[in-house]
Chains A and B, each alone.
Chain A
Amino acid sequence: MATLPVDELRIIDRFGPHTSAMAGVRLSTSTEPDRLVKTHCCFCGQQCGVQLKVRNNEVIGFEPWEEFPFNRGMLCPKGVKRYLQGAHQDRLTAALGRDASSPSGFSPLPYEEAIARTAAAIARVQETHGPSAVGVLSGASLTTEKTYLLGKFARVCLRTPFIDYNGRLCMVSAGAANKKAFGIDRTTNPWSDMVGTDVIWVAGSNVAECSPITTNYIWQAREQGAKVIVQDPRITPVARTCDLYLPVKPGRDAALFAGVLQQMIERGWIDRDFIDTHTVGFDDVAAYCRQWTLARTADVAGVPARSIEQAAEWWGTAKTSFLFHARGIEHHSTGVENALGTINLVLATGRIGKAKSGYGTITGQANGQGGREHGQKCDQLPGWRDISNPEHRRYMAGVWGVDEKDIPGPGVDAFELFRKIDRGEIKALVSICFNPKVSLPDNLFVTRALEKLEFYAAIDFFLNESARHADIVLPGSLQEEDEGTVTQVEGRVIRINKAVDSPGDARQDWRIVQDLARALGRPHGFTFGSPREIFEELRVASKGGVADYSGITYEKIEQQMGVFWPCYSEDPETGRPVEHDGTPRLFEPGSYNPVAKGKGPFYFPDGRARFNVATYRPPVDDASDDYPLFLTTGRVVSHFLSGTQTRRIGPLEHQYPEPRIELHPRLASKLGIGDGDWATAETRRGGITLRAMVVTTIRPDTIFIPYHWPGEKSANRLTVAAQDPISKIPQYKVCGCRLRKADGPPAYAAILEPQQ
């Protein structure tokens, strides 16, 4: 039973989160570093280049890396202060075993004993309940090498179909839509293509806070004449100076896209030649859009008719354009439809595959792109291959040296995995780089499921809120303690370089996974000596897949400051070995790809892109009489995901110490809530009490809560576990909610520090 071993406050007392400060050698820039290590930030999908200052095996600061072309030295506050996660008092430096007799609930274990105990528990569960009784949860902040290894570990060593990753909460709606429309899942252009375009449409992305560097590209494009359209229920910093703001009602994005496309069709602002030559399915989309008259769209989407017309005119008549979307339209039970709605707008104008015209999803996690390509998704094999495709299975069986029949079939998504735990079908869990108790929706349910596990092993560098439930904790590595590759927002594969060694018994995650495989008696395929060796196998594994990395080497990445995939080792057209530089821009006219084989630029056998009818459906658990407001959730600039790292970095925590409920003054005055008052937000799942922040920059029918905190401060106590039927992404961005002034401060306010 993976219940908490002791009172949670005692666990917090020992393992944090406590906040780090600049102290000792880390305060002074006059302390000369031994060396500078060129690498990338450990946080978001932008993956800004940065140099870490290292002295005596400790990261003591940073120096901008102005030569790296994507960010040219620019960093957000997370990138500036990221170095303070190292040498941290909360850092796990030994393996831990659950021990209710210990004051902190855990006792240190010799590493080998922890591995042996974990392997024995997994073996016991699998002997009793079968191989599928073990699940694996992994993450999209890991290097691509690790994500590849974990997918292989689940399928080849554990022989369970049940592996999934936290990109399920992030990238899957975009991925599924890209697959349906283009046959390939990647942003189409490098960001530098943005400057000089006519129109940029930002759909559901708080760019300034979630991907700050991209703000400079968008605003530079605006300086050169681009009109910027921002669609968001809040006026975020990038919306502040936009040329057209579309204050969409939460959950109504597909209606807005259909209404805009209908205007474009009516006015003839579409590219008929492109549609006829390069796409299929337009007529069905046009037929669907007919019902989305201006009046109806305005009514449903909550956007004035004049603004819809203006968007259609600007978008429809532009010569060049970019459209970006992020979780704002993707975190919905219609997430795939919403993303397809944007793609229809792009395809209808034919503005794709050109220097100043592109489309993309802004990735959230460090390896949001690479992490979704190489086999840690429940239905996927490396190289973006399909685990249900017999040919793909045979290929991977050959690479892995196993019988095709022994590779399990598709598993289930990360949330369904918890439903399986709840139903008793999965008895044991291994997790890495995932904090479901904070990050999954309806997380009171997630907690109850965790408590039902017979055995839980967590690999991490800090004891995150979920790992407090673990039987065994294996001390893993920080990003700066290992090397490998990640693929950033543009599709550029880049190098993460090792700066320091792991402290104490902590070690690189891939070594821990291999140690488990050995202890389980199935070391076959888990004897890599370095991330480079894993990457060499990944190159072979991805070869011939859509996400083909076979032509990428560590050396080529360094020489070119990144390589855009697909990058071939053999020319897909001639089959001859080739020195390929990669593919910065997708779908260029006349481009050859191994799926279309010259029939067209898109990755389908006929070379044509697909229009897909993007149907509007109201959200699950929509606003109602009992819960009349919309709750939407998201990030703030100084925190990242479940906060395991950023809630431990003092300066970032001080910037935004605790979550607040953003609400409009009209709503505030109706409810009698003043700025700074305690207010209670309730949904059908639960309630939390936080301080109110009264601002005119949000719709009066909507409240916003950032989600980086745990427990009684956790926005995900409120969110609904409704999921998109295709991508299985949770509907974080809308659910029915009610709000009232709280009677007084919540009990936690006197007990917990802000970051806890």
Chain B
Amino acid sequence: MPKPESLHFFIDPNRCIGCQACVHACTECETHRGDSMIHLEYVNRAESVQTVPVVCMHCHQPTCAEVCPADAIKRTGDGVVQSARKPRCIACGNCVLACPFGVPEVYEDRQIMMKCDMCYDRSSVGKKPMCTTVCPSQALFFGTLEQIEALRPMSVPVNRFQFGRQRVSTEVFMMMPKARTARDPYVDVTAAMNDQPRARAIPLRPIPSGSPAGDPDPFAGIEV
């Protein structure tokens, strides 16, 4: 049974508290033998508690699969890019180098690439991926576009990204803030003590219109 078409994975870094519940939950799955397939990093702990969780973005045209010399990476019809298939993977690491999101990893001891498969054992039987179920701040969310739009009116789901000249569209959405919140944030306690807030938002630029495939532009009308 495939993952239902209406259900999507959303990453909302604005909500991440860095608790690692997702990482720990991921290690519970035997398909990757106790290793977590989630990358959770501080952006810069010296200056902020901001953390970012990254799962596989499940590209519509997966670069990892395109560069795989052994054809070991398959994208199933429901949009899930599967982990490398054991008999084929030669652990060459092409996918690791090529993935624009830095997701796949080669496990030298097992001689295989492993990455997030959106908990295919769960999502293909109607359950949510484990990380999205447990995430206590719902920075990782699994549901319909209608649900996320109702729950997160301050952000917009984005699934097209540009890396240099490469344009990538993905099954997984990132939530991008629509506009700055009421007050500028404090990036440093001393700024708050002196009441000198300063913007710390990383400027996000929408991809220019005229994009391929004729999708409606997800950035239309978004102030960033």
Of the listed stretches B63-71, B93-101, B147-155, chain A binds B147-155
Instruction: Specify which of B27, B121, B134, B182 lies most central, judged by the most chain A CB atoms within 10 Å of its CB.
Output: B134
A665 contacts which chain B residues (CB < 8 A)? 46
**B50 contacts A240, CB within 8 Å?**
yes
A77 contacts which chain B residues (CB < 8 A)? 19-21, 23-24
Instruction: Specify which of A64, A215, A240, A699 lies most central, judged by the most chain B CB atoms within 10 Å of its CB.
Output: A240
**A22 contacts B24, CB within 8 Å?**
no
Asked if B136 is at the interface of the complex by the 8 Å CB criterion, the answer is yes
Asked if B18 is at the interface of the complex by the 8 Å CB criterion, the answer is yes
B33 contacts which chain A residues (CB < 8 A)? 27
User: Complex formed: what's the CA distance from A238 to B194 in Å?
Assistant: 20
Contact among B20, B128, B185, B194 with A655 in the assembled complex (CB-CB below 8 Å): B20
Asked if A243 is at the interface of the complex by the 8 Å CB criterion, the answer is yes
Chain B binding surface SS class: loop
Q: Which of A46-76 contact B (CB under 8 A)?
A: 61-62, 64, 66, 71, 73-76
**A73 contacts B133, CB within 8 Å?**
yes
A71 contacts which chain B residues (CB < 8 A)? 136
Nearest CB of A to B86, in Å: 16
Interface size class of chain A, counting residues whose CB lies under 8 Å from the partner chain: 35 or more
**A22 contacts B19, CB within 8 Å?**
no
**A245 contacts B20, CB within 8 Å?**
no
B187 contacts which chain A residues (CB < 8 A)? 696
Q: Which of B163-193 contact A (CB under 8 A)?
A: 181-183, 185-190, 192-193
**B27 contacts A240, CB within 8 Å?**
no
Asked if A247 is at the interface of the complex by the 8 Å CB criterion, the answer is yes
Nearest CB of B to A28, in Å: 4
Asked if B25 is at the interface of the complex by the 8 Å CB criterion, the answer is yes
Instruction: Specify which of B21, B30, B187 lies most central, judged by the most chain A CB atoms within 10 Å of its CB.
Output: B21
Nearest CB of A to B150, in Å: 9
**A80 contacts B45, CB within 8 Å?**
no
Nearest CB of A to B33, in Å: 7
Asked if A711 is at the interface of the complex by the 8 Å CB criterion, the answer is no
Asked if A455 is at the interface of the complex by the 8 Å CB criterion, the answer is no
Q: Which of A648-681 contact B (CB under 8 A)?
A: 651, 655, 664-666, 675
**B193 contacts A208, CB within 8 Å?**
no
Interface size on B, residues (CB 8 A): 50
User: Complex formed: what's the CA distance from A234 to B189 in Å?
Assistant: 7
Asked if B17 is at the interface of the complex by the 8 Å CB criterion, the answer is yes
B48 contacts which chain A residues (CB < 8 A)? 235, 240, 696-697
Contact among A29, A213, A241, A307 with B14 in the assembled complex (CB-CB below 8 Å): A241
User: Complex formed: what's the CA distance from A240 to B43 in Å?
Assistant: 13
A62 contacts which chain B residues (CB < 8 A)? 28
**B46 contacts A247, CB within 8 Å?**
no
Asked if B109 is at the interface of the complex by the 8 Å CB criterion, the answer is no
**A651 contacts B182, CB within 8 Å?**
no
Nearest CB of A to B198, in Å: 12
**A213 contacts B134, CB within 8 Å?**
no
Contact among A73, A209, A240 with B19 in the assembled complex (CB-CB below 8 Å): A209
**B21 contacts A208, CB within 8 Å?**
no
**A304 contacts B194, CB within 8 Å?**
yes
Question: Quick one: closest A residue to B188, CB to CB?
Answer: A696
**A235 contacts B17, CB within 8 Å?**
no
**A216 contacts B195, CB within 8 Å?**
no
Sorted from nearest, which 10 A-B pairs have the closest CB atoms? A304-B195, A212-B136, A208-B17, A237-B17, A28-B30, A696-B188, A80-B24, A247-B192, A215-B137, A75-B134
11 A–B contacts, CB within 8 A, in A order: A22-B27, A71-B136, A74-B138, A76-B21, A77-B24, A208-B17, A212-B17, A216-B136, A223-B154, A240-B49, A245-B192
Contacts A77-B20, A212-B17, A700-B189 known; list 20 others, CB within 8 Å: A28-B30, A29-B121, A64-B134, A74-B21, A74-B136, A76-B21, A76-B136, A80-B21, A80-B134, A209-B17, A212-B21, A224-B153, A236-B49, A240-B185, A245-B186, A246-B192, A664-B189, A697-B47, A699-B189, A700-B190
* Interface residues, chain B, with chain A CB atoms under 8 Å away: 14-21, 23-25, 27-30, 33-34, 45-51, 121, 128, 130, 133-138, 151-154, 181-183, 185-190, 192-195
